[in-house]
Structure 1
């Protein structure tokens, strides 16, 4: 392949990744609307959907060009392949069949792009492309915040909070956690551009603080602690066990302290002990789950308005959440216990594989799978990104899982059978 075609393919990848982050079209097309502005008309996001369709089509074409590698990878990322199939099968019992069909196609397209990334680029190349993507996000977010505050800053309920090129501060906060992870790992691995890479890490952290997104801040500190813990696993065994025990002891002390000071801490960051309504929301969601526990309401068949099953939850809670604010509850709603078990078993297997990966590799890049898997788990405790179409979070989860499968094949060919 010529250098020009390789460059074009990388540009396509970075532009697509930027689009999957959700910026900047959503906030521009909404006219800079914020939560609490009482927006009457729903913005027209047809352009965004069209661009996703273009991405799906190109991704499918590029995968067909590498069809042998693609098929071999699909046989190893089994739990994701089965979940995608279950989304389409759930049309048979969906409470909203049309929505289920449309969004099943969308989640398939999102996953295809993730598989393309895994089969086309190495982990090192993936992180480099992500660093370019988040670098663009950082630069344009600062431009929006300084020169286009109507778009770059929140109004309404969160006046003055930074949101950059995104529709909500929490989106920017979550992405800056990811950005800090990417720049940290690439900076530790690369010999060139150290100043730029560490600058990216520092900028991500500063922007994260300015979003005032409490859940993102908590995840950031947990992920950084995980990073230190994972690095200790690479120590000689005589040092690994004492280090892990010490970290576990510190974690237990922090947990006990947090348990005694929960009310004070939440009030200090503008939250309450109901986690901004989630504690009231989750019991109402569980009420509906127990009505159809085994197969759920079909993929994306529950939430959607007063004429859908979500109406019960809205009436009980007194507000209109778009989802359960918990990825595992939403997966249970969509695909029942069957879908939830498939995901959890696959997640556990992937997590264990990522830990083995850390032990047998000495590069910082190899920390990415386990760190992202943990990040993905944590982010779904209070938000829904699990099996969510047209979003970077599920996209990267698919990429990480299939990347480990592709690299495992390479290791096996070199007679390093650690993954069997």
Structure 2
């Protein structure tokens, strides 16, 4: 005869865990901040420089207030100190800057971007961070496609920033060139620049694929987002983005092979093969650059970039150690940049190479500091991806797909930095600081004070692996 027990062995039934409203709103704000950085110049083209600056400054102030209120656990000794050193040196350049107003204005952007990156990395767990990045990228991809569709179907002609439907002196001035149905014409998305859209679309493909590999729900929809991102990536037709995609494939293949190694010595052959492929690829790219870039529809000098580099390096040589003063990007209305280097009649706003740009602005000291920033980021992100998670005697825990994100982001930015200066600002700088700081604060997905504190805030019980 069955007897009802007053002491059941199993836990009493309980409703599913729900995230607290405050944490949902916090994550929503982080998604908005990520969207702001990933969409870049879209805010300027839509609302104007003044409104975009106001939103950026207000956003930075709000994040500081939220940081004080939430007070996430931060190990101050494990801050990204090379980032701090670079920002400090850039700030110190105000003392000798040849363009102090431009330095002060762009320093504000650098400080806000750095603070936002540290804020997001401290209040979100690894899983939340990737999920938030995916949400922000969905908005960027969807709005880029809808914007180009609206221009082609409703407006029916190319438009200038501010939704002005007028002819431009040069196509480079257009926000959208109305090329959506004019294949193989390049489309520019909400950024108004195909060279900005291409790398972001590549990042979106990576993030959505990582979400699928990590077992996220609604994987069919994520597959659809990959298709949309791939379409925008191809139609952006950015030579730099294509090269970055090739580098991502090489790095991803190497990481996956490294993960299969069972003995320490087994990785040596993969490192040798990786070095051969990397060095061989660079040599091949240099020797066959005429053929490669002609195939991609670009000139061998990367569409005039070599002449830009020569002019910037010539100015950098006049102040080799400390540079002329921080200004990322170059402020177009400052006399030092207005009309200095012209491209299609427009003042160039960057050196189109982050290393050349830093050498002119912050000298050899700045180049060394930014080199250490990226060296530390690449080093940590690489072993974050290839090493099995371990914090005790157990050495058989499974790898997480989430750990692939930092090293693949680093690959995109390093390749992009050879032909663009965007890794020094907006989403490039934000992701380097955010992911680099996150690895130092939480070197294991789901483990550590920062990860467990956020889980508690969501209302989840924290527990370690068995």
1:121 matches 2:87: no
User: What is the aligned counterpart of 1:393 among 418, 428, 446?
Assistant: 428
| Rg larger in structure | 2
Unaligned runs of 5+ in 1: 30-43, 414-420
| Helix, strand or coil at the partner of 1:234 | helix
Deviation at 1:247, TM superposition (A): 5.1
> Which residue is 1:37 aligned to?
none
- Separation in 2, partners of 1:312, 1:49: 23
1:324, 1:384 within 8 Å by CA — same for their partners in 2? Answer: yes
Contact 1:26–1:166 at 8 Å: present in 2 too?
A: no
Structure 1 residues 51 and 315 mapped into 2: Cα distance closer, same or farther (>3 Å)? Answer: closer
Secondary structure of the equivalent of 2:300?
coil
In 2 relative to 1, CA 202–109 (structure 1 residues): closer, same or farther, beyond 3 Å? same
- State how 1:14-33 maps to structure 2 within 5 Å: 14-20=31-37, 21-22=39-40, 24-29=42-47
Deviation, 1:191, is 4.4
Q: Does 1:332 align with 2:369?
A: no
In the alignment, which residue of structure 1 is the partner of 2:452? none
Residue 360 of structure 1 is matched in structure 2 by: 388
Deviates more, 1:116-125 or 1:265-274: 265-274
Q: Confirm or deny: 8 A CA contact 2:78 2:441 kept in the other structure.
A: no
Give the match for residue 198 of structure 1: 223
1:285 counterpart (306, 312, 329): 312
Quote the offset at 1:254 in angstroms: 5.0
Give the Cα separation in 1 of the matches to 2:41 and 2:348.
22
Offset from partner CA, 1:99-145 (integer Å, 9 cap, x none): 21222122111111100111011222111011111112222222222
Q: Tell me by how many angstroms 1:318 deviates.
A: 8.7
> 2 CA distance for matches of 1:17 and 1:152?
31
Q: 1:145-204: per-residue Cα shift (whole Å, max 9, x none)?
A: 223335997882566222222221222112101111111211111242211222222221
Report if the CA contact (8 A) 1:117-1:399 is conserved: yes
1:211 aligns with 2:236: yes
Measured at CA, do residues 319 and 291 of structure 1 come closer, stay the same or move farther in structure 2, by a change above 3 Å?
A: farther
C-alpha contact 2:324 2:362 (8 A) present in aligned 1: yes
CA shift in 2, pair 1:146/1:123, >3 Å: same
CA contact (8 A) 1:163 1:211 kept: yes
Deviations 1:238-280 (A, max 9, x none): 6544445455555566556545542223223321111111111
Answer whether contact 1:327 1:383 (CA < 8 A) is retained. Answer: yes
Q: Residues 142 and 302 of structure 1: is their aligned pair in 2 closer, same or farther, counting only changes over 3 Å?
A: closer
Distance 2:129 2:422 in 1: 20
* Contact 1:76 1:402 (C-alpha < 8 Å) held by counterparts: yes
1:135 pairs with one of 120, 134, 138: 138
Residue in structure 2 matched with residue 83 of structure 1 by the alignment: 86
Which of 188, 200, 203 is equivalent to 1:163? 188
TM-score computed with the length of structure 2 as normaliser:
0.77
Preserved contact between residue 185 and residue 365 of structure 1 (Cα < 8 Å): yes
Report the equivalent of 1:46.
50
1:104 matched to 2:141? The reply is no
User: Which residue does the alignment assign to 1:342?
Assistant: 369
How far off is 1:309 after superposition? 3.9
- Unpaired runs of 5+ in structure 2? 1-17, 160-167, 180-185, 390-398, 450-466
The RMSD of aligned alpha carbons is 3.1
2: CA distance between counterparts of 1:222 and 1:68? 36
**For residue 35 of structure 1, what is the aligned residue in structure 2?**
none
